Amino acid sequence: MTATGSAPMPASQTVGKALLMVTALGWGLNWSVLKFVLQDWPPLFARGTAGLLGALCLALLAKARGDSLAVPREARAPLVVAAAINVFAWMGFTALALNWLKVSEGALIAYSMPIWAMMLAWPLLGARPTRRSLVALGLSITGMVVLMGGPEFSAAKLPGVLFAFAAAVLFALGTVKARKPLAMPGPAVAAWQVALGCLPMVILGLMLEQPQITSLSLHGALGLAYMAVGPMALCYLTWFGALRRLPTAVAATSMLIVPVVGTLTAVPLLGETLGARELIAIVLTIGGVALALRQ
């Protein structure tokens, strides 16, 4: 006990919070970096290529740790479903959304997924929403309406809103349905999920977007390298490390930092504006999601 009567924080929790901060900063910055890379390459091809490079990094790290990359027979179907929902839909749709939306808009809508997980749990798991849940839903929806301009909403942004919303809802669906973790090491699961989810993105990108490979600038190449090594590889390891040391609820709530970091870094990197409307929307949306996560 200390002189004030409070117990010192265990070293493992201190390390966990440090790992959590690295994860949140890395994933948050990724939104602005992705928008930057999209200036050179189209969204599906850019995100898919970064994902495959990241999957390779994760596989190499898994082997370095001595983990097996073999997928048990009973884990194959759940792994494919998780890759389709948590990677292909999440990464692909959020990348497409940034064609029409600012980073602040895309990130806040996408990170509303705990709200939709809470609502989907009602028909799928029989978990009826409480009064707190409905308040959380109202706060988040109000925040998103404020962010998108309310009555002044531009129809030109609608495709981006729909893609970001679809990414959030599908990710929430995957969270609700995935009640049992796969019997595989975390980095190996991440490597397979990212690879299986990003390979179709690259194929579709080559077929539909017809990217000009040589149009990637030096800054775009550096951004692509960051996306592969940082958010895809390093941040997955720091995330798993944080989960081993902290309660899941604490880790999930802390991830609300991600859209805030994305919004703030987009100002100097992309020249996006951050005014009163964006700040009010952040407070309302993040407040609603935080309230939902307290469930």
Per-residue model confidence (pLDDT) at position 189:
87
* Cα–Cα distance, 227 to 193 (Å, whole number): 16
Band (2; pLDDT cuts 50, 70, 90): very low
DSSP character string of 171-191: HHHHHHH--S--SS-HHHHHH
Report whether 266 contacts 91 (CB < 8 A): no
> pLDDT (tens digit, 9 = 90+) per residue, 223-280?
999 999 998 888 878 887 887 887 766 777 777 888 889 999 999 989 888 888 888 8
Per-residue model confidence (pLDDT) at position 152:
63
Band (7; pLDDT cuts 50, 70, 90): very low
Report whether 47 contacts 92 (CB < 8 A): yes
CA dihedral over 171, 175, 176, 177, signed as positive or negative: positive
The residue count of the chain comes to 295
Per-chain mean pLDDT for the chain: 85
Residue keyed to tokens 């049992």: 180
Q: What share of the chain is helix, strand, coil (3-state, %, to 5)?
A: 80, 0, 20
Per-residue model confidence (pLDDT) at position 238:
86
* Residue 9 in this model has a pLDDT that exceeds 60: no
Longest dimension (CA), the chain: 67
> pLDDT (tens digit, 9 = 90+) per residue, 74-88?
888 888 988 999 899
